[in-house]
Chains A and B, each alone.
Chain A
């Protein structure tokens, strides 16, 4: 099997897993010249990542407005990988440099609002990619990779 076919199969496994196991919608395969392989993006059923500082800002805003702040899901990038692969810092850096913070189509979702807690959404947010690591038994594990120093969530 050629490398190209391997990547296609890998991408397909991850797309199927996202759509059927994790109920993602609008899942698209994204091909770009300066990317080493196809990326995937899509909309998770609920919000996948809340930065700990955003959480604090949301609580403050909710207290001030006296109403719940809606937590709509955002489009997220997914990088399909196989467990047997080896990537270097430079490889990851190349992927992060090639992408925009928000996948195509999600840029203007919250663009008009400028409340403090909105800084964590929309194009101002830091770049992040969901690493989808596929095992031979078709298990897929998902890990967030953030660009730069991003403090951990309070689990």
Chain B
């Protein structure tokens, strides 16, 4: 695994100005090797309210994308453009191989279904066995009932008295329920067919892209990479009242140490912001970190980064 990770190129899909990672191995790789957690944003359209347990894709900050790009471990693909060109220029052979790959996926899905079905059948078999000796449940209503319960009998008699005419009660009467329960044994006769699937990825269609658009709007990059290089993990900080919350290690193991804001070197910061952020940081047991980088001048390259931490003094 290590050998494959050495030359790994993370595919970052740029879609509508957002940087997304769709490959779970890439997600694990950037988290382990580069200390980037970012945010899972994927959800099911049918059940979009669960915002704690989201899945792929992973949305990166522009700073993350730029950092990975600078380390030469990622490339940025303009996904919509790449898909369009690929779809337009597809020749017959590529098309066939793509369709074939879809078919393979469907077969795999079928195998998984069969396996799951067999498992659940085996499970239920044990449960059903003791019930089989009770004949009344499966007996069709056309036959006279063996008077299993008084209520059932009267219900059946009532219906016969109505002469089989359509009755309001019919849908809720015991009749259809009992016929339903007798149908399952016929089900295995249904013709076997490959299930339809919605592909979760278009990986098979696109080649590993060469397109490498620029990353824009990474104003916090100096502070961001300064922290990342020192082993800190960074997640969005709005919940704690800052731009970033900064963890001394993987957030699975640590509480955040800082809530951080990035500023320009000469950007004027109102004192009230420092007081409120310092107070808020202390209230959530963090210290408020502010950082900025000295801009490049004629006789020096990009300058030092200065970071300051603010805490309530307790007096």
Binding site for B on A (CB under 8 A): 22, 44, 48-49, 81-90, 92-93, 96, 130-131, 133, 141-155
Note all chain A residues with C-beta closer than 8 A to B274.
87, 131, 133, 143
Given A150-B287, A152-B286, A86 and B269 contact (CB-CB distance below 8 Å): yes
Note all chain A residues with C-beta closer than 8 A to B272.
83
Quote the shortest CB–CB distance from B263 to chain A (angstroms): 5
CA distance A74 to B110 in the complex (A): 74
Most buried by B among A48, A147, A148, A149: A149
Please count the residue pairs between chain A and chain B whose beta carbons lie under 8 angstroms apart in the complex.
Answer: 109
Residue of B nearest to A87 (CB): B269
> Can you identify 28 A-B contacts, CB atoms within 8 angstroms?
A44-B315, A86-B268, A87-B269, A88-B266, A88-B268, A88-B269, A88-B292, A89-B269, A89-B306, A90-B294, A92-B308, A93-B294, A130-B313, A133-B275, A142-B312, A143-B310, A144-B309, A144-B310, A146-B309, A147-B308, A148-B307, A149-B289, A150-B287, A151-B248, A151-B257, A151-B258, A152-B285, A154-B285
User: Are A155 and B282 in contact (CB-based, < 8 A)?
Assistant: yes
Residue of A nearest to B294 (CB): A90
Q: Which of A48, A85, A133, A145 is within 8 Å of B315, CB to CB? A: A48
Q: Which of B268, B309, B312, B313 is within 8 Å of A87, CB to CB? A: B268
User: Are A89 and B311 in contact (CB-based, < 8 A)?
Assistant: no
B290 within 8 A of A: yes
Quote the shortest CB–CB distance from B152 to chain A (angstroms): 70
CA distance A87 to B275 in the complex (A): 12
CA distance A145 to B310 in the complex (A): 5
Quote the shortest CB–CB distance from B155 to chain A (angstroms): 71
